[in-house]
């Protein structure tokens, strides 16, 4: 490359300098506009990033041992509040989550489903263990605790539930929210899935989170 003498550089016509500065300014402007108009691809599920607390709890696992939210960091956690005596919504939701795991294929190894009971009076660790094991003992963990612990957990993540009137035999149902909360591997709340979201759509968003953190 031949370098132009400094004196010659100072003698460049003003119009060339002006054109060069205009071209540089236009390139910078286009670059800024491109950055401003870039939009992130929308999620299939509801994006709750920054609107809910991180995954944080102290409960009892279905193996009878104390467990905290930190134990599940490193994996994506799908948190669902239900109960083992639920006649329809809970088994239907769990069945859909099994379809999600199937759609993920090998990526399912990075996902855990946390089934948190809203009926701690009946859902002992053993009852939860048998229930979640009927679906997938490898990926699903049942969690219970005291009434106060469950109430605190539900309040933190805005989950509504209510015990209905007992029938003559003493049995009762629990009305509860049916959403599934998605937490990333760092324990941050990211997405909210409902029964209107197809398993393939849920799996696509989970894979996107996995790919972004791999």
Q: Do both 79 and 123 map to the same domain?
A: yes
Q: Contact at 8 Å (CB) between 131 and 113?
A: no
- 57 in the same domain as 116: yes
**Domain identity same for 18 and 61:** no
Identify whether residues 25 and 79 lie together within a single domain. Answer: no
Residue 1 falls inside a structural domain: no
| Whether residues 20 and 51 fall in one domain | no
Torsions phi, psi of 96, nearest 5?
-65, -40
pLDDT of residue 20: 39
d(CA 105, CA 99): 10
The pLDDT value recorded for residue 214 is 58
Q: Are 76 and 23 within one domain? A: no
What pLDDT score was predicted for residue 6?
41
From CA 55, how far away is CA 115, in angstroms rounded? 13
* pLDDT tens, residue by residue, 155-176: 999 999 999 989 998 899 999 9
Query: Which of the pair, 177 or 80, is modelled with greater confidence?
Result: 80
51/103 same-domain check? yes
Q: Locate 159 and state its tokens.
A: 């989950």
List, in sequence order, every residue forming a beta bridge with 191; answer none if it has no partner.
47, 182
Does residue 134 sit in the same domain as residue 167? yes
For the chain, what is the mean pLDDT? 85
110 and 17 belong to one structural domain: no
175 in the same domain as 91: yes
Helices (H), the chain: 6-10, 14-37, 89-104, 125-136, 147-156, 199-212
Is the pLDDT at 153 greater than 50? The verdict is yes
Asked if residue 65 belongs to a domain, the reply is: yes
- Percent of the chain clearing pLDDT 70 (strictly above): 81
171 found inside a domain: yes
Residues pairing with 64 in the sheet: none
Q: What pLDDT is stored for residue 66 in this prediction?
A: 98
Whether residues 22 and 85 share a domain: the answer is: no
Residue 17 in domain = yes
Taking only Cα atoms into account, the Rg of the chain, rounded to an integer number of angstroms, comes to 27
Here the CATH number for the domain that contains residue 186 is: 3.40.30.10
- For residue 149, being part of any structural domain is answered with yes
CB 99, CB 78: distance < 8 Å:
no
The mean per-residue pLDDT over the stretch 122-150 comes to 97
* pLDDT above 60: residue 27: no
Kindly state whether residues 16 and 73 are assigned to the same domain. no
Q: Of the given ranges (1-5, 16-20, 66-70, 102-106), which has the lowest mean pLDDT?
A: 16-20
User: Is 156 in contact with 66 (CB distance < 8 Å)?
Assistant: no
pLDDT number for residue 213: 74
Give the pair of three-digit tokens for residue 185: 């591997």
Residue for token pair 């599940």: 72
Q: The domain containing residue 125 runs over which residues?
A: 46-212
């Amino acid at each position: 490359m031949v370098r132009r003498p400094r004196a010659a550089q100072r003698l460049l016509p003003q119009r060339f300098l002006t054109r060069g500065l205009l071209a540089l300014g236009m390139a910078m402007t286009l670059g800024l506009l491109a950055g401003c108009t870039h939009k992130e691809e929308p999620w299939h599920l509801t994006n709750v990033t920054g609107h809910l607390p991180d995954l944080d709890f102290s409960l009892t696992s279905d193996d009878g041992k104390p467990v905290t939210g930190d134990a599940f960091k490193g994996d994506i956690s799908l948190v669902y509040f239900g109960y083992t005596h639920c006649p329809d919504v809970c088994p239907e939701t769990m069945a859909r989550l099994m379809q999600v795991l199937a759609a993920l294929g090998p990526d399912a190894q990075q996902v855990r489903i946390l089934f948190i009971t809203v009926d701690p009076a009946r859902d002992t660790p053993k009852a939860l263990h048998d229930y979640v094991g009927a679906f997938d003992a490898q990926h699903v963990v049942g969690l219970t605790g005291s009434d106060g612990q469950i109430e605190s957990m539900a309040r933190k993540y805005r989950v509504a539930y209510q015990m209905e009137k007992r029938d003559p035999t003493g049995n009762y149902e629990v009305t509860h929210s049916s959403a599934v909360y998605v937490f990333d591997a760092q324990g941050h709340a990211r997405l909210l899935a409902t029964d209107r979201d197809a398993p393939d759509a849920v799996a696509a968003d989970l894979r996107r989170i996995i790919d972004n953190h791999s």
